[in-house]
Amino acid sequence: MSDLTKYIQLIKSGEVVAFPTETVYGLGADAWNPSAIQKVFEVKGRPSDNPLIVHISNSKQVADFALEIPDSATKLMETFWPGPLSLVLKKKPEVLDAVTAGLDTVAIRMPDHPLALDFISQTGPLVAPSANTSGKPSPTKATHVQQDFGKDFPVIDGEATKIGLESTVVDLTQPIPAILRPGSISRKQIEEDLGTEVEESFFHHTEKPRSPGQKYSHYKPNAGVRWLKENEQPENPSSLYLLISERESGSNIINYNEDLNKLAAELYDRFRQADHESFKEVVLERFEDYNSEIASALLNRINKSIL
């Protein structure tokens, strides 16, 4: 296991450090230090109206940020934490505006990764957006972080992330809970746990979305991204094909054999590979959900990269 001492010191002195979680690598900064949070926005080139998720290592820390903890939150925390589920709750007045982009709510999660939990338990709560340049595919390996921020950038190396897509974001501040961003914990799982209906609020590009991040383009490689057309054969050498159904593989044809979890885990790495190897486009075969919890999140990220 890596020695975290120097990274903990960096956080304590107001610097930013990238670290692995089970979803993607996060760019961590002390959630109570305004100038450290300012650095997060600068390093990423992130629009200042896009709020950050607070990452904690202990459920008790929720009470430092949330004004109230509804029963629904307690339930979801018990079932899914540590894990890829961010809860949007009414914020305490002392939570920094830079964290919430001036909203009266705050998003919080406890990541399911031993290094992340060890790190945060020694630094205290961290804001941690994905550790990529804004608009680029999120990093799922330490090398991705260094591609974006330089090879000397401080990053705790925890190997490739398991899930590969960002957390599910669920808003618990309204009478009906709403999923603002799909992730590997599905609507069905949340509904079953709460025993109530849950809305999805991520399809509509309304002028004022409930999650500010929804209005920004995301997850894009420089190469174009599109769906494989019906009856189209994967035969263009300047395209990188990500296929679902059983077919031949090749140097530019990767076959996922209906394993959507594997495609999700590798998607951003493939996007980055396409740019690294100068492919003109990434062509994805359409898929059904195959009863996979991650199907909705995968479709959401692919559609956003096509937009």
CA–CA dist 171, 180 (Å, integer): 7
Which of residues 136 and 187 has its CB atom nearest to Mg ion in the complex? 136
**Residue 167 contacts Mg ion per CB under 5 A:** no
H or E element at residue 199 = strand 199-200
Q: What is the CB-side half-sphere exposure of residue 178 using CA atoms within 13 A?
A: 13
Instruction: Answer with the entry of ligand AMP, Mg ion, none that 72 interacts with (C-beta below 5 to 8 A by kind).
Output: none
The minimum distance between CB 82 and ligand AMP, in angstroms, equals 16
- Which of 105, 130, 161, 305: binder of Mg ion (CB under 5 A)? 130
Q: Which is nearer to ligand AMP, 51 or 234 (CB)?
A: 51
- Decide: is 72 part of the binding site for Mg ion (CB under 5 A): no
Under the binding rule (CB under 5 A), the answer on residue 292 touching Mg ion is: no
Nearer to ligand AMP, 56 or 240 (CB): 56
Least gap, CB of 134 to ligand AMP (angstroms): 8
How far is the C-alpha of 270 from the C-alpha of 223, rounded, in Å?
Answer: 11
How near is the Cβ of 168 to ligand AMP at its closest, in Å?
10
Reading the block at residue 117, the tokens are 């939990």
Residue number with CB closer to Mg ion (167 or 261): 167
Q: By beta-carbon distance, which residue lies closest to ligand AMP?
A: 213
Residue the block writes with tokens 């920094």: 96
127, interface contact from Mg ion, ligand AMP, none, CB < 5-8 Å by kind: none
Integer Cα distance of 237 and 174 in angstroms = 50
Residue numbers of the site for ligand AMP (CB under 6 A)? 50-53, 88, 100, 103, 105-107, 129-130, 166, 169, 180-181, 211-213
User: Is the Cβ–Cβ distance between 92 and 66 less than 8 Å?
Assistant: yes
The closest residue (CB) to Mg ion is: 130
Q: How far apart are CA 290 and CA 288, in angstroms?
A: 6
CB of 95 to ligand AMP, least distance (A): 10
- 113 vs 181 by CB, closer to ligand AMP: 181
By C-beta, is 218 or 270 nearer to ligand AMP?
A: 218
Only one residue has tokens 């991520």, namely 202
CA geometry: angle 272, 246, 166, nearest 5 deg: 35
Residue 48: count of CB within 10 angstroms of its CB: 12
The sheet carrying 178-181 orders its strands as 17-19, 26-30, 126-127, 53-55, 105-109, 85-90, 168-171, 178-181, 199-200
Which amino acid, residue 39? K
The reply on whether position 239 binds Mg ion by CB under 5 A is: no
Give yes or no for residue 140 binding Mg ion (CB under 5 A).
no
Interface with Mg ion (CB under 5 A): 130
